[in-house]
Structure 1
Amino acid sequence: SIVTVLFQEIDYSLQIERFTKTFKMTALPQIHAKLITLLELLIKPQKDLNKVVNILQALYEVAIRDFFKEKRSIDQLREDGLALRRPVSSAGLLFENAVEVPNSNNETFYRQARRLHTIFTSLDSMHNIPTNLEARRRIAFFSNSLFMNMPHAPQVEKMMAFSVLTPYYNEEVVFSKEQLRTDNEDGISILYYLQTIYADEWKNFMERMRREGLVDDKEIWTNKLGDLRLWASYRGQTLARTVRGMMYYYRALKMLAFLDSASEMDIREGSRELASMRQGSSLDGFSSERSPSMRSLGRADSSLSLLFKGHECGTALMKFTYV
């Protein structure tokens, strides 16, 4: 189709790094404005197909006549696939009888359309950056990672084993309610200290709690006590951050532990189970008659699963778990 050929030419110019030499950047504001109009027509409850066709025709005219630096005749456009082989009648338009608007129950399409409309219409200043230094660091790291060449993951047989043993003596993992509220000899509590050091993060935390149903700030000590303890522990307890970091790799470590300890027969017969693991299912979904490697993995998995139930004994088991 004409639209496909147009996108192919744009992609090719980007590939050979000649986009600005092939297209006029001065035409982009016109294309931007017409795309916004098109999206507004699409996300309206009542669709006007005639207006959609008209704006698509206007987009086509801008892209063909104003966007390309090199002017082409109608014969060249037809030869390149950017115009119809046969002339369109004076009464008709290029996209007439060629546009089909998705049904209103197509949630995926309209969610993406609304998202694209928000991107095109957002006019946030470049100075509106997060005040939190950690947020800035993470955004900068993510932005830089977009331009990195991602290495291919090695085969499981060539991967190095992953073992973890976190030193643990009498160190607290998660602050208790009493620890957060009790003042030290200087009259300062742990929570007050963290609220002072991470003032912007505390403000965001309280805003999130209110969105989740917090009515009175005093309820933070009752209904939202678990969230409060985790918020303080992630900023004041190194070991809590270590456990949280390990749990980011929870599913990957389960998979790796199974592949490291399973026999060739287990792997051959467990293709269905491995597929279910990739879909996020628990290891408890395996049949009751499991191999020794699977049973050992199940024991490790059961101790890890306690973390999700909020038991501190589960956190303690995590400290001595080898994977």
Structure 2
Amino acid sequence: MDLLLVPYWADRELDVIQWPPFLLASKIPIAVDMAKDSNGKDRELKKRISADNYMSFAVSECYKSFRNIIMFLVRGDREKEVIEYIFLEVDKHIEAGDIANEYKLSALPGLYDLFIKLIKFLLENKQEDRDQVVILFQDMLEVVTRDIMMEDHISSLVDSIHGNSGHEGMIPLDQQYQLFASAEPSNFQLLNQKLGKRSILTPYYTEEVLFSLHDLEVPNEDGVSILFYLQKIFPDEWTNFLERVKCNNEEELRGSDELEEQMRLWASYRGQTLTKTVRGMMYYRKALELQAFLDMAKDEGD
């Protein structure tokens, strides 16, 4: 029912408007690729992501969800202090608009892959996966501090946490920060519940969304074309279609690219399952937008 109240907050702790997953599908992998290829150009990266509103929403929700999940699982004051410091540094550069210039975002796909593995472990919620989760957390820390934040950022991180003025006698990072060893599997069940359910719409493999003119005209083994068959199955609708586009017969439709496309749409809506599915999705989107508008108008009226 939450999807009928778009925009909505499934998790109030995120402090971000959440949109239905089908509107945000595939946005994060694309954004990760954009960041990887940004080459330190913050303005260009921000412009490309902001050009797609749903991509911008997806990036914001993903980052805040990532932060909440990590902070939820990590235990221990020292561990939390280090993680909070890392997120504060990232937030500072996001606010300043120089994150691509300061950090090596070409390593971001590695962190993304590790986070996907973490989510799978959390969803499966198996006690025997605890050691794998701990190792996964440590790998994520290494990617962030060594590959993304780079060496000078690691030094400043260590100095700020421990108050050291130099690096003499510093314990190697692998031994010094066993940050996630205290992540408790008992927390996985609660987190699994907070993640909620996700639905995915999967088109048929290699199936065309719209019939092409060739598809409509080619006769089958019985000598009957798709268009001819649909005209006989839906005679009234075909007549109404011709009247709507102000044509007297099929031949007049072929004098214009726009009319030919209208004919392809007419046939696809009646004979192509995937087209009807996509059309229904788009109607559903309009319905959600209308619902959101009415809800916000109602709130303003109150």
TM-score (norm 2): 0.38
Structure with higher RCO (Cα < 8 A, 6+ apart): 2
- Structure whose CA Rg is larger: 1
Q: Structure 1 or 2: larger helix share?
A: 2
